[in-house]
Structure 1
Amino acid sequence: MKTIDEINHKISRGEAAVLTASELKRQVADGEHLSVADVDVVTTATFGIMSGTLALVHIPVSAPGTFHHAEKAWLNGVPAIPGPCPNERLGVVDLVVFGTSRANQSYGGGHLFRDLVEGSEVEITVETGGRQISRNVTLAEMDLARIVTTRSAFMNYQALVNRKEGTERTIFSVRGISGPFREVTVSGCGDINPLQNDPQGRVIGVGSRVLLNGGMGYIMGTGTRSTRKHPNIAAFADMKEMAPEMMGGFVTSDGPECITSIGAAIPVLDDTILDSIRITNAGIPLPVADIEDRTAFTSSHYGEVWDHTDLVITYSPEACLQCEPCQAAAICPTRAIIPGERIDPLRCVHCGTCLRECIGDAFSGNLGTITVEGRPVPITCRQSSREHALRICHHLKTLIIEGKFHLTGKCGDLW
């Protein structure tokens, strides 16, 4: 049996054997025999809509003595909660901003967080004593800016259908979910999800170091709605270390949501841990629920979502009919489509919504189908991006190989 200290020494010496989860599973599928001696660390990740995301920020607003304390506040129109510290007469505010709060139906907390990380100026407006004070501010001017997740990296999630006639507006779809059984939306990155590769919580726990939106962070414990059967985590990280392409906003049929990503390194200490990492998509259940009550009534598996489907949506400009307006661009939940030109690779999350909107079929990608009670139902929206999660796995692998990311042993169990 290895120890985390031993693995960290190997990382420091540039001798650690590091694989991404997909690389290890591919080797196993190819018939290679892997033992604990062959691999020290396996990198895992997930990327997608995670409503349980908030920001805690400390912002200078005006000179000391200008106002007593903030009663209300907004950042780019997104409502923020002042406090808990009143910062009386200091001219500064502590704010909590939910990733699901919104300025309007197309701009919310997730968009705001990405704008800040990109270095954009945002407007801070404070209401105090019957007046408003506003100024523009950047992330660099904030003494503290931290993302906190209250519920993230679920050990995979579920698929949702509508069993009734009509279309249900929901955060789980860009256009709404039409029924009966006309389409299905999915979440979860399958067999590269961190908790899916450590289902017993042997090495992932309180104090484990992770990448949160590309920045170095730590796990605080379990998140809300976490259960032993369907666990998730709560984590935090400094916004100033984050990567904008690993986070952002996503406009659903029920308004803006928040995109968040988590990457975790699993130390391969013994055979039990290695055996857990061998799991593949086809062996991971995918509960199928009705959007009306979100109660699972049947089950599929993640092999139908991620095996033999296209992880990336592609665009053929020669097929573009130059429609005015471009319906695909108008409905794109991340505003990644530049009509007649290209898809912005730093914004597209490969959800697949554009595939059914473009009458010229300029966009292509096989999203697959899910078998629901014996019938194939087409996947029309993926709210998780395995492509992005794979990038995070590779990035984390590189950081470890370069000695820039060492493992932390957990200081407490998740369950």
Structure 2
Amino acid sequence: MESVQKKIDSRRAKVYTASEFKDMVRRRDPSSREADVVTCGTFGVMSGTMAILCVPVAEAGTFKRADTITLNGVPATVGPCPNESLGLVDCVVYGTSRRDGSYGGGHLFRDMVAGKSIEVEVSAEGRTYRAERTLSEIPFARMVLTRGCFKNYTCFANFSDEDYATIFSGPRPLRRSFGEASVSGCGEINPVQNDPELLYLRPGASALLNGAPAMILGCGTRSSPEKPNLSIEADMHQMRPELMGGFRTSEGPECLTSVASAIPITSEKGLEGVSVLDEDVYLPVADVRDRKPLFREDYASVWKGTDHRVSIDPAKCLGCRECQADLSCPRDAKPSALRRNDLCMDCGLCTYTCVGGVFGADMGSVSFDGRTVPIGVRQSSRSAAEDLCVELKGMVENGNWKLRDVNGKI
């Protein structure tokens, strides 16, 4: 790995995005001499996201210790440090905590990173204290991914004869009787999918978490040799709002997180890892009611030959008084504006709910047990992940990447 780092530092490294390298693999078998680094990324719902904050609330001596705290109405857990009489509150906010059915921790994190003013409310000793703070006024804000970047995830369908409210859907319940499938995972460009034995993605390795320099802490909760995932941390002050956010489901808000890393090719084993293709990555299909995998598909059914981005045809807009695409958009991206913005993650729900057919995308389907079930919602964005890979490639080519945090800059 030292030789690869030297090539990066001198801007001599041969760098490919995951998609570029897969194109090469499909044409022929590349050798380890043809590439030094492959940049990989993923973007999607990652429930295991939390933030550790130290929030200045009031002057020292105003209250002894906080009992509760909310940020924009999202509840946080106070502690562990009591900060007695300092007017500060240490707290942990879960990405899955919620103010209501449409605003949760993921939305809060994006608003903070976007520089918006956050309403802080603290109860202490029977009194309530309020303040407004921006992220720049919060000296410590660290995001920790307790688990994410799964090697592969699961496709969910509703096997029952009733619509089913679930976190594995958009704002509407998952349709009954195999009416649609919900998928997560970016397939062949996912970092862990390209390093399945975690030869490189080990404690201390560098990554990007929501665009910020990050460090891999190790495996995350529920990680296993067959299905590994990662735990990662980064400073929220360096994150970018378009690479994170909230996602509304029929069971309440979830948290969107992005991860990218540059995989060095230092052995034939490493070359084998980055040569994986969507058609090689199996996709378990499960009944959403118990989440037990019953059938197997692959990620080619989701991402190969399908539309990674949703198209927009403004001429088809009927000008409905109540836009169904707006109501069903899990990101509140306002599809009725008829133009893309950085909230759109190409989940594809609008292609089903728009009455006029303004939005279009071939999102593929999964086949099992003699059935073909259309994919109705994507909780991961391959398009955003591919953009991340391109951005990281530029950083590596310009010598702005350390494979490990050797200088303690993170």
Q: Distance in 1 between matches of 2:40 and 2:182?
A: 23
Match of 1:94?
Answer: 90
- Residues 159-217 of structure 1 show CA distances to partners (whole Å, capped at 9, x for unaligned) of 00111101010000011112221111101100011111111111111111100011010
Match of 1:380 in 2: 376
CA distance in 1, matches of 2:179, 2:331: 24
Instruction: Give the 5 Å matches for 1:132-151.
Output: 132-151=128-147
- Assess if the C-alpha contact under 8 Å between 2:329 and 2:335 holds in 1: no
- Of 292, 317, 327, 1:295 maps to 292
Task: Give the counterpart letter for 2:348 in structure 1.
Answer: G
Counterpart in the other structure of 2:40? 44
| Cα contact 1:335–1:347 (8 A) shared by 2 | yes
TM-score (structure 1 length as normaliser)? 0.96
1:72-120 per-position Cα deviation (integer Å, ceiling 9, x unaligned): 0000000011110000000111110000000011000000000000000
> What's 1:235 paired with?
232
Q: Which residue number in structure 2 is paired with residue 393 of structure 1?
A: 389
2:14 partner letter: A
Q: Secondary structure at the match of 1:167?
A: coil
| Secondary structure of the structure 1 residue equivalent to 2:108 | helix
Which residue number corresponds to residue 30 of structure 2?
A: 34
Partner of 1:413: none
The CA distance in 2 between the partners of 1:290 and 1:196, in whole Å, is 24
The CA distance in 2 between the partners of 1:103 and 1:271, in whole Å, is 49
In structure 2, give the amino acid aligned to 1:9.
Answer: K
State the distance in 2 between where 1:343 and 1:162 align. 32
CA distance in 1, matches of 2:200, 2:99: 40
Aligned to 2:177: 180
1:204 to 179, 189, 201: 201
- 2:63 aligned partner, one-letter code: F
Cα distance in 2 for partners of 1:176, 1:285 equals 26
- Secondary structure of the corresponding residue to residue 265 of structure 1: strand
Query: Structure 1: how far apart are the matches of 2:236 and 2:115?
Result: 11
C-alpha contact (below 8 Å) 1:336/1:343 kept by paired residues: no
Q: Distance in 1 between matches of 2:94 and 2:152?
A: 23
Does the aligned pair in 1 maintain the 2:46–2:148 contact within 8 Å? yes
| Pairwise CA RMSD | 1.1
Runs of 4+ in 1 over 6 A off after TM superposition: none
Q: 2:8 aligns with which of 11, 14, 27?
A: 11
The answer to whether residue 319 in structure 2 is matched with residue 350 in structure 1 is no
Q: What CA distance in whole angstroms lies between the structure 1 residues aligned with 2:327 and 2:174?
A: 18
User: Partner of 2:175: helix, strand, or coil?
Assistant: strand
Counterpart CA distance in 2 for 1:291 and 1:272 is 36
Give the aligned length.
405
* Displacement of 1:9: 1.2
1:277 match? 274
Partner of 1:167: 163
SS at 2:112 equivalent? helix
Letter in 1 for 2:361: G
1:114 is aligned, of 88, 110, 115, to 110
Partner of 1:402: 398
| Gap runs ≥5 in structure 1 | 411-415
Q: Tell me the TM-score normalised to structure 2 length.
A: 0.97
Question: Which of 319, 323, 348 lines up with 1:326 in the alignment?
Answer: 323
Q: Which residue of 1 aligns with 2:75?
A: 79
Q: Determine the C-alpha separation between the residues in 1 that align with 2:181 and 2:94.
A: 28
Separation in structure 2 between the aligned mates of residue 136 and residue 338 of structure 1, nearest angstrom: 31
Determine if contact 2:325/2:335 at 8 Å carries over to the other structure: no
Which of 306, 309, 312 is equivalent to 1:309? 306
Instruction: Summarize the alignment of residues 228-267 of structure 1 with structure 2, pairs less than 5 Å apart.
Output: 228-267=225-264
Counterpart amino acid of residue 364 in structure 2: G
